[in-house]
Amino acid sequence: MKDKNSSGLQFCVLLVGTLIIMALTVSCDMTENDDLASDNTTESALKSKSFLPEFPGAAAFVDGFTNPYLAFDEGKVFHYEGETEDGTETIVVTVTSDTKEIYGVMATVVSDIAYLDGEMVEKTEDWYAEDLEGNVWYFGEYSEEYEDGELVGTEGSWEAGVEGALPGVLMFANPEMGMKYQQEYLEDEAEDMAIVINLNKTVEIDYGTFEGCLETMEWSPLEPGAREHKFYKKGVGLIQELQPGGGRSTVDLVSVEMP
């Protein structure tokens, strides 16, 4: 005949052991489910077109730029360089003094010229303006593509207010983790989106080591699977563009010419 106290103790030990196993199982399930939910949320965001910011109206815009993540001073020239699967890419971005009225707003023309192994392959005019809160809006672009010095297309060009195109936001004044937003919108032509994925990234490039960088990931429903990570340092601007994957490429800031 078993001792009652011994039997009770064995039962308690068995019960506690069972509860511990159940707790660990639930914890693992929750972790897996959380990861799955995170993945599903990200995939849902990547497929969505519902993150177009609310336009504040033409009266809400100011001259020039104060947004520290872009550091767009008039006359400033950014030089970028990197090795891609196609060759050496160099990019020259110039904040010009030119303006263009779009959607009732006087937008600044920012020139972006890309070269591959020294030959110009793309020439773009981007149109940006900053609102009273310091958010920089994107009003469109005119982009020319070249092969062997000859113009071969203007694919990707769009202008807010034309053929249903709407302005988006290039950079918010106060980015927050997980913030998702449309940067441009012309159906089936320009639908770039972005999500903030890091507010305190350290980036090391030849130009220097930069701490506390903002990292965004950009994508477009028009290019399934394509991703681009961009890193911005306050007071400096865009310092690196990274395209992960099999065709991984990196373009880094190599110099800045101040006005």
3-class secondary-structure state, position 85: coil
Residues 6+ away with beta carbon under 8 Å from 218: 183, 192, 193, 194, 227, 228, 229, 230
Q: Are residues 63 and 145 in the same domain?
A: yes
Asked whether residue 253 is domain-assigned, the answer is: yes
Residue 52 falls within a domain, yes or no? no
> What three-state secondary structure class fits 64?
coil
pTM of the model: 0.80
Residues 183, 12: Cα–Cα separation, whole Å:
60
Torsion of CA 191, 250, 148, 142, to 10 degrees: 30
**231 and 111 together in one domain:** yes
pLDDT at 84: 83
Q: Which CATH number goes with the domain that contains 135?
A: 2.40.360
User: Is the domain of 72 the same as that of 148?
Assistant: yes
User: Residue 230: what pLDDT?
Assistant: 97
At 195, the amino acid letter reads: I
3 and 131: one domain?
Answer: no
Tell me, yes or no, whether 53 lies in a domain.
no
Residue with tokens 């109206």: 57
Determine, yes or no, domain membership for 138.
yes
- List the domain range (segments joined by +) for residue 120: 58-257
How high is the mean pLDDT in each 10-residue block of the chain (259 residues)? Answer: 41 37 35 33 45 94 98 98 91 98 98 97 98 98 96 95 96 97 93 96 97 97 92 98 78 96
Domain count, the chain: 2
Is 4 inside any structural domain? yes
